[in-house]
Amino acid sequence: MTASLGARAAVVRKEGASFHLESIALDDPRPDELVVRIVASGICHTDLSTRDGLLPFGFPAVLGHEGSGVVEAVGSGVTGLEPGDHVVLSGAFCGTCPTCLDGRVVYCPSFPKLSRAGRRPDGSATMFDAQGEPLYGIFVGQSSFSTHVIVRAVNVVKVPETLPLELLGPLGCGVMTGAGAVQDTLRPEPGSTVAVFGLGGVGMSAVAAARIAGCGKVIAVDVNPARRELALEIGATDVVDAANDDVVQEIRRRTGQGVDYSIEASGVAAVGRIAVESTQGQGTTLLLGAPAFGSDFSVPWFSILSGRTVRGAIMGGSDPRIFIPRVSAMIGEGIFPLEKLVKYFDFDEIDAAVDALERGEVVKPIIRMPAQAHS
């Protein structure tokens, strides 16, 4: 056990509890694993849904799955990565099954177990508390609410050292889910019309990507006026007030017959039907949000019979090994405005960061690890 690291993690001791900073120890890395010193981690609503028991995971737990950091140690079988490399961590996939080999890694059949078992496939833990008791870790392949983590090398993507590493963690989930949905799943034609429902990190990323793709109209829908204003700043051509407007009628008024594509990024099941009805007769709706497990929604039969398509995507349907370098380059070139979506918090301010996210005051909070963890 690598107790000498002096790692600290934000531990959730039981369902619904707050985050509590504790000293932890890491197991030794296996041949296919790395030790990564986390520089920063985005906070995602999926972390909070898991904390609150809406999505399955064990406790006590270390959550977090939008980590960026520096490689500290590599297992004996790792190639292509070495200590000192700057990396972004992605979701958990096996990397060897036919689905992974076909580049559809986010649909890997092992993805759910690797993401939510809290243990390696052999049942062993990677994280332990100060008393030596195992913690549920490797959350979505990471558990990045920790100063140090053990991750599988296949789930790590190297990024240029010229980029601000503390900014890049959300590329592994929130940004990939929204922007990847546009770039890799919908692939809208230049001049086409898109409506995005829910302007959190996922929705804002979709808005930015739709602008970059050359969509003629990008309609951003949310109840929060500050987020609607920010959406206009990063690429939306129109905004709709979901609290006070008849959303479907407003979208039809502005497009003539509805949008070509709609993206549901709020995670509110009832919004799914509105997203479908906002499309034109042969339009496509993509579901990205993650409501409580078991949620559903209904749409009129003839709305689908007219030729509409409803589909879903995990993490935008992207391969992080391709998506992360691509959007990293866009950030470096000033094309993708991720810096406008984030607010930084110190690690010991994690509860304040969570509160700001839940109140809708911050689109994408990022917690930065303390300076002593970076030495």
Q: Residue count of the chain, please give it.
A: 375
Domain count, the chain: 2
How is 180-242 classified by DSSP, letter by letter?
HIIIIII-PPTT-EEEEE--SHHHHHHHHHHHHTT-SEEEEEES-HHHHHHHHHHT-SEEEET
Domain CATH number, residue 75: 3.90.180.10
Q: What is the pLDDT of residues 12-44, one digit of tens each?
A: 999 999 999 999 999 999 999 999 999 999 999
> What is the pLDDT, as a whole number, of residue 4?
42
Distance, in Å, from the CA atom of 76 to the CA atom of 30, rounded to the nearest integer, reads 8
Tell me, yes or no, whether 160 and 231 share the same domain. no
Query: Of 314, 330, 350, which residue is a domain's last?
Result: 314
> What is the pLDDT, as a whole number, of residue 54?
87
Strand spans (E) along the chain: 2-12, 20-26, 33-42, 61-62, 67-74, 86-89, 127-129, 134-135, 148-152, 156-158, 193-197, 217-222, 238-241, 259-264, 279-287, 309-312, 342-346, 364-368
Q: Is residue 124 part of a domain?
A: yes
Tell me, yes or no, whether 159 and 207 share the same domain. no
Distance, in Å, from the CA atom of 298 to the CA atom of 306, rounded to the nearest integer, reads 16
Q: Is residue 283 part of a domain?
A: yes
Q: Is residue 368 part of a domain?
A: yes
Going by C-alpha positions, the residue among 250, 312, 308 that lies closest to residue 283 is 308
> What is the pLDDT, as a whole number, of residue 150?
97
Tell me, yes or no, whether 349 and 271 share the same domain. no
> What is the pLDDT, as a whole number, of residue 374?
42
User: Which tokens sit at 267?
Assistant: 């995670």
Tell me, yes or no, whether 356 and 305 share the same domain. no
Q: Is residue 321 part of a domain?
A: no
Q: Is residue 144 part of a domain?
A: yes
Tell me, yes or no, whether 270 and 353 share the same domain. no
Q: Is residue 274 part of a domain?
A: yes
Tell me, yes or no, whether 168 and 180 share the same domain. no
Domain CATH number, residue 180: 3.40.50.720
Stretches in the chain below the pLDDT threshold 70:
1-5, 292-293, 372-375
Tell me, yes or no, whether 258 and 246 share the same domain. yes
> What is the pLDDT, as a whole number, of residue 291?
72
Distance, in Å, from the CA atom of 271 to the CA atom of 263, rounded to the nearest integer, reads 10
C-alpha of 71 from chain center: 21
Tell me, yes or no, whether 187 and 222 share the same domain. yes
Tell me, yes or no, whether 182 and 162 share the same domain. no
Tell me, yes or no, whether 288 and 310 share the same domain. yes
Q: Is residue 268 part of a domain?
A: yes
Alpha helix segments (H runs only) across 225-368: 225-234, 247-255, 269-277, 301-305, 320-332, 350-358
Beta-bridge mates of residue 222: 241
Q: Is residue 326 part of a domain?
A: no
Tell me, yes or no, whether 197 and 148 share the same domain. no
The alpha carbon dihedral of 321, 96, 26, 63 has a sign of positive
Distance, in Å, from the CA atom of 229 to the CA atom of 350, rounded to the nearest integer, reads 26
Whole-Å CA distances, 283 to 83, 134, 202, 300: 48, 49, 21, 15
Stated pTM of the model:
0.94
Q: 86-89 and 2-12 as β-strands: parallel, antiparallel, unpaired? A: unpaired
Residue-number span of the structural domain to which 363 is assigned: 2-172+341-374
Other CB atoms within 10 Å distance of the CB of residue 5? 18
Tell me, yes or no, whether 6 and 114 share the same domain. yes
Going by C-alpha positions, the residue among 195, 39, 28 that lies closest to residue 125 is 28
The alpha carbon dihedral of 165, 170, 173, 178 has a sign of negative
